[in-house]
Chain A
């Protein structure tokens, strides 16, 4: 009936031979059922392919690639940004039945799972062994590991334990061309694993994941603090973090959310409570937990807290978490549809973000419950509406966009853990400049030259410019590039000159690691020593921006003088060199943002000052281990710790940090970023 349907019939026999005839479905009913997810977007696929074995995925993808049919992986279909909507038709690859936990290795601290394993099922399987897997999105009851990886999910515990990307050791991935590859953050060369995490199925399909599992802490204490206003609660959050307390979770919810979640249950909070913080501390040292709790209690009381209560037993603790994790689904009782926003701001900006969010909600006459991963500066306003009411939907969309703009304006980002999908695609234009978006596009092209893997997601498509939506243009000016030092400017100018003349460059920092005999191909050194200007420390946000040429030891000395530290072992060399060489892969966990110059001398601002950011590909981590060949690192922003520094064993640097043979994918990336092979040309000889 429709020409495009023929794409499937042409390869149907072959597909059926791989997965079995009953698992290639093209009937009307099945297509309709895969035209929606938990978000608002809708589009129909041409086929749904069900898998019964992980080994079937690569041959099917190869077949689809050969036939030019777009495809996307789908599991529980609970994502909130339209990520699993087939915008160009094609095939839905339903991996929901690949739900085996293949191995739990407590000695190595790893669990090997298939993508369809439900997050909570994994937690249940780990518990008898005394282990847990840290990422715990509120949807963990239904969302799967594959989906968590696709969206780089967070959850309350990521404040202490990091997001999904920090808790994955290795991935087995089917590339968009149907090849099976393994990626780990510790591979020699650029960290491609972290780029795949959060790529929403646009760069490949995970078929096995090795997850880091951690021993359950010996002691967990959970407390609730009731405040007469949300502002007061948020103020307390900032103080608690600044006091050097690192809770395993620090969540805030407002009255609307609380009421929804507690429907039918007696509220354990005093009358007049407008906001509640849930604070959870863990560790093996009960004394430390006790003193931290006391400190937190005092901070809360100083900020107007009316009731600070430590959960006496498991039941009380469970009730608190039910209230928190049940708040989103409970909003379903209030109205049929729900927009869950997912903006992030630097933590000290939370009160401002909150104020603006409330103004926006009031301005558009909407009802919303406010939930915060307060410790991360991640806001989830849950706006309720009925999508059958067109006027209301329009107001909701406008309000949602305004909230994102407000986050951008406050130095934050447009998604902390839910992804961009299709619903926030246009907002990428507001967050990033042309250069950054082009950089993301080149990552996509390198992984998926045919553009078949979950097409039209994450990155704005042609015609999606803010100007094309005049109703969305706010009255404010988007923040420009941060102030570059004159030294950094001169580096950029030099790179432009060299690019124009085709001169090759050997990027060097303090000369700690790059052996002179490696520098070949007639590359002229570009010394970054001059990039060692003053640290910018954001005391409240606990971040610091250092220029690339600063020696790491000096960086640490300055931090220490300011009362902070970096939770890393003793390392040598320049800040930029440590990132580019990835001698200590752990550094990636503290790295929030990078300013880099491309081979052509274009300045790119990647990442930012927030601890959570899933807007676009993780280009920051891509440059970890890129050895100066993809771009020149000018400065980096790190997450700091306050309080006492923990003792670490001395760090033994791997001797062969540069033993890296680029694979096809590395070469493709290089070709995209630096087609003339100007930067550190010996690494990609003959590109």
Chain B
């Protein structure tokens, strides 16, 4: 086949030659092949991905998938549907076919790309560690018009430029719920306006919503003020989940950090940018990242080195990947890399030697304790061992390993609201596994999981509750 031919390509049964006709010999296959997005949109894509095999452009990263199919043994959407289209391999192939022009319309990829949980279980089992989630996101960016729609733009802009206004709108929505009109807020479109349509459902799944956000509370804590601390052992980074939805998680994290690692500070940070990133608004995500990096550098200049502790696995994992946002930016790339190196998830940071057998009354209340591996912790950061050691010390024989503990809960950010049916099935399997060990407490490390599993348990298995790792440590540590 010497000339690329649309008609023959689409003829059923026509065996097209997998070799792209315009590729020339040699190892380099650059962006001129890219039919996924126009050249003018290049800056709205990552372009280069930092993969396990080194820095790769999107095409090379997707082409690294040799279709062995091992990801299909762990991909939740494939395991539930048996459809290639909804598998890690399928998604990589789709993006590749879009780039090569074998798939003509980006919109055809909608189902394949939108149903991805971004859990990265595929990457964990992949020998080449093909970064499917990043590849899917690149595809989604082209698919969804780079988050250019009104709501996404409004939300990210408000959060970026007027975080207090964002908080105001959110409180308004929460108030509506508290006054006994729980659906009113959703109907008013406030959540849409602030770009968190997911929150409308999430707060539906949370039994009470906070009217004081974590950042407001922590700012008032004199012990956490940077001015007061000469040599902080840590800085707490408040991710949006704990901040806006679960301030008690933030408080617990700070409390256990103080006890285990001495004095620290509150970073008084911006959103990590993950939301903007996943919406397709890369420029905004970069701006969030730059502000957080600047804040970190400012604090570092004043106080010296310290780890940045986040208590939402998604957020921590994303900040660890900041460098990938700046691969084409010689100035910011090293700064992002330095920041990323300082980020630690509370799941890995909390020192196991500080854990001891828990408070009797608290453990009695907890019942059988089990641990759910949040995707962004186990697949995103490789954290599996550390929290288990701590939990086993705390709960002793009450700790039981959860079957398929790294099966995604289906929360996955806004996934539970955009892919309702699939998300339910994913969650259902998680709940069955929880029930199989007769757990009373399911410890999680991500706020999305906390909302999703929490709501699922309230519906289907009310004798168990989902508890954030920090909260569990704070509650069960022996009281002195």
Set of chain B residues within 8 Å of A44, measured between Cβ atoms: 10-14
Set of chain A residues within 8 Å of B29, measured between Cβ atoms: 388
Report whether B84 and A78 are in contact in the complex, using a CB–CB cutoff of 8 Å: no
Report whether A2 and B10 are in contact in the complex, using a CB–CB cutoff of 8 Å: yes
Cβ of A386 within 8 Å of any chain B Cβ, yes or no, is: yes
Known: A2-B10, A29-B85, A336-B64. A36 touches B93 (CB 8 A): yes
Cβ of A125 within 8 Å of any chain B Cβ, yes or no, is: no
Report whether B13 and A43 are in contact in the complex, using a CB–CB cutoff of 8 Å: yes
Stretch at the interface among A389-397, A403-411, A480-488, A660-668: A389-397
Cβ of B168 within 8 Å of any chain A Cβ, yes or no, is: no
Which of A87, A141, A336, A391 has a CB less than 8 Å from the CB of B13? Answer: A87
How many A residues touch B, CB cutoff 8 Å? Answer: 61
Known: A33-B84, A94-B82. A329 touches B68 (CB 8 A): yes
Known: A36-B93, A389-B26. A329 touches B85 (CB 8 A): no
B350 nearest CB across to chain A (Å): 27
Which of A33, A43, A85, A392 has a CB less than 8 Å from the CB of B93? Answer: A33
Which of B68, B85, B94, B109 has a CB less than 8 Å from the CB of A332? Answer: B68
Roughly how many angstroms separate A423 CA and B14 CA in the complex, as a whole number?
A: 15
List CB contacts (< 8 Å) of A134-192 with chain B: 139, 141-143
Stretch at the interface among B97-105, B447-455, B456-464: B97-105
Report whether A33 and B112 are in contact in the complex, using a CB–CB cutoff of 8 Å: yes
Cβ of A313 within 8 Å of any chain B Cβ, yes or no, is: no
Roughly how many angstroms separate A328 CA and B127 CA in the complex, as a whole number?
A: 10
How many B residues touch A, CB cutoff 8 Å? Answer: 50
Q: Mark B67-101, 1 if CB is under 8 A from A, else 0.
A: 11110110000000111110000100110010000
Roughly how many angstroms separate A328 CA and B128 CA in the complex, as a whole number?
A: 11
Roughly how many angstroms separate A598 CA and B318 CA in the complex, as a whole number?
A: 70
Cβ of B25 within 8 Å of any chain A Cβ, yes or no, is: yes
Set of chain A residues within 8 Å of B72, measured between Cβ atoms: 76, 142
List CB contacts (< 8 Å) of B30-69 with chain A: 53, 60, 63-69
Roughly how many angstroms separate A141 CA and B69 CA in the complex, as a whole number?
A: 10
Set of chain A residues within 8 Å of B108, measured between Cβ atoms: 27-29, 32
Stretch at the interface among B15-23, B213-221, B281-289, B401-409: B15-23
Known: A33-B94, A332-B68. A326 touches B63 (CB 8 A): no
Report whether B19 and A87 are in contact in the complex, using a CB–CB cutoff of 8 Å: no
Roughly how many angstroms separate A627 CA and B109 CA in the complex, as a whole number?
A: 56
Q: B89: nearest residue on chain A (CB-CB)?
A: A77
Roughly how many angstroms separate A32 CA and B94 CA in the complex, as a whole number?
A: 8
Set of chain A residues within 8 Å of B84, measured between Cβ atoms: 33-34, 77, 94
Q: Mark B241-258, 1 if CB is under 8 A from A, else 0.
A: 000000000000000000
Set of chain A residues within 8 Å of B70, measured between Cβ atoms: 141-142, 329
Report whether A390 and B23 are in contact in the complex, using a CB–CB cutoff of 8 Å: yes
Report whether B67 and A392 are in contact in the complex, using a CB–CB cutoff of 8 Å: no
Set of chain B residues within 8 Å of A42, measured between Cβ atoms: 15-18
Roughly how many angstroms separate A388 CA and B18 CA in the complex, as a whole number?
A: 8
Roughly how many angstroms separate A391 CA and B60 CA in the complex, as a whole number?
A: 18
Report whether B10 and A390 are in contact in the complex, using a CB–CB cutoff of 8 Å: no
A88 nearest CB across to chain B (Å): 4
Cβ of B386 within 8 Å of any chain A Cβ, yes or no, is: no
Cβ of A387 within 8 Å of any chain B Cβ, yes or no, is: yes
Q: B26: nearest residue on chain A (CB-CB)?
A: A389
Q: B84: nearest residue on chain A (CB-CB)?
A: A33
Q: B113: nearest residue on chain A (CB-CB)?
A: A29
Q: Mark A66-110, 1 if CB is under 8 A from B, else 0.
A: 000010000011100000011111100010110100000000000
Known: A76-B72, A96-B82, A142-B72. A388 touches B19 (CB 8 A): yes
B76 nearest CB across to chain A (Å): 14
A34 nearest CB across to chain B (Å): 6
Q: B87: nearest residue on chain A (CB-CB)?
A: A33
Report whether B10 and A141 are in contact in the complex, using a CB–CB cutoff of 8 Å: no
Roughly how many angstroms separate A205 CA and B162 CA in the complex, as a whole number?
A: 62
Q: Mark B107-134, 1 if CB is under 8 A from A, else 0.
A: 0111110000000000000111000000
Q: Mark A31-45, 1 if CB is under 8 A from B, else 0.
A: 111101110111111
Report whether A336 and B66 are in contact in the complex, using a CB–CB cutoff of 8 Å: yes
Known: A45-B12, A141-B70, A332-B68. A33 touches B85 (CB 8 A): yes
Report whether A2 and B12 are in contact in the complex, using a CB–CB cutoff of 8 Å: yes
Set of chain B residues within 8 Å of A336, measured between Cβ atoms: 60, 63-66
Set of chain A residues within 8 Å of B97, measured between Cβ atoms: 32
Which of B12, B69, B82 has a CB less than 8 Å from the CB of A46? Answer: B12
B105 nearest CB across to chain A (Å): 7
Roughly how many angstroms separate A90 CA and B14 CA in the complex, as a whole number?
A: 11
Set of chain A residues within 8 Å of B67, measured between Cβ atoms: 36-38, 77
Q: A263: nearest residue on chain B (CB-CB)?
A: B127
Report whether B15 and A78 are in contact in the complex, using a CB–CB cutoff of 8 Å: no
A146 nearest CB across to chain B (Å): 12
Set of chain B residues within 8 Å of A331, measured between Cβ atoms: 66
A355 nearest CB across to chain B (Å): 28
Report whether B66 and A118 are in contact in the complex, using a CB–CB cutoff of 8 Å: no
Cβ of B27 within 8 Å of any chain A Cβ, yes or no, is: yes
Q: A82: nearest residue on chain B (CB-CB)?
A: B15
Set of chain A residues within 8 Å of B93, measured between Cβ atoms: 32-33, 36
A167 nearest CB across to chain B (Å): 22
Set of chain A residues within 8 Å of B127, measured between Cβ atoms: 326, 329-330, 332-333
Report whether B13 and A392 are in contact in the complex, using a CB–CB cutoff of 8 Å: no
List CB contacts (< 8 Å) of A309-365 with chain B: 326, 328-333, 336-338
Set of chain A residues within 8 Å of B27, measured between Cβ atoms: 386, 389
Set of chain A residues within 8 Å of B16, measured between Cβ atoms: 42-43
Set of chain B residues within 8 Å of A387, measured between Cβ atoms: 18-19
List CB contacts (< 8 Å) of A107-125 with chain B: 116, 118
Roughly how many angstroms separate A50 CA and B86 CA in the complex, as a whole number?
A: 13
Which of A328, A333, A390 has a CB less than 8 Å from the CB of B53? Answer: A333
B58 nearest CB across to chain A (Å): 13
- A-binding residues in B (CB < 8 A): 10-20, 23-27, 29, 53, 60, 63-70, 72-73, 81-85, 90, 93-94, 97, 102-105, 108-112, 126-128
Q: A28-B104, A331-B66 are in contact. List 11 more A-B contacts (CB 8 A).
A: A29-B94, A32-B94, A42-B18, A43-B15, A45-B12, A116-B82, A139-B69, A332-B66, A333-B53, A337-B66, A391-B25
Which 8 pairs from chain A and chain B are nearest by CB? A89-B12, A89-B13, A96-B82, A97-B82, A391-B25, A332-B128, A78-B69, A329-B127
List 23 interface pairs A-B (beta carbons < 8 Å), by A numbering.
A2-B10, A5-B12, A28-B105, A29-B111, A33-B85, A33-B90, A33-B112, A45-B12, A46-B12, A50-B82, A50-B83, A77-B67, A77-B69, A96-B83, A116-B82, A118-B73, A139-B68, A329-B127, A332-B65, A337-B66, A388-B19, A388-B63, A389-B27
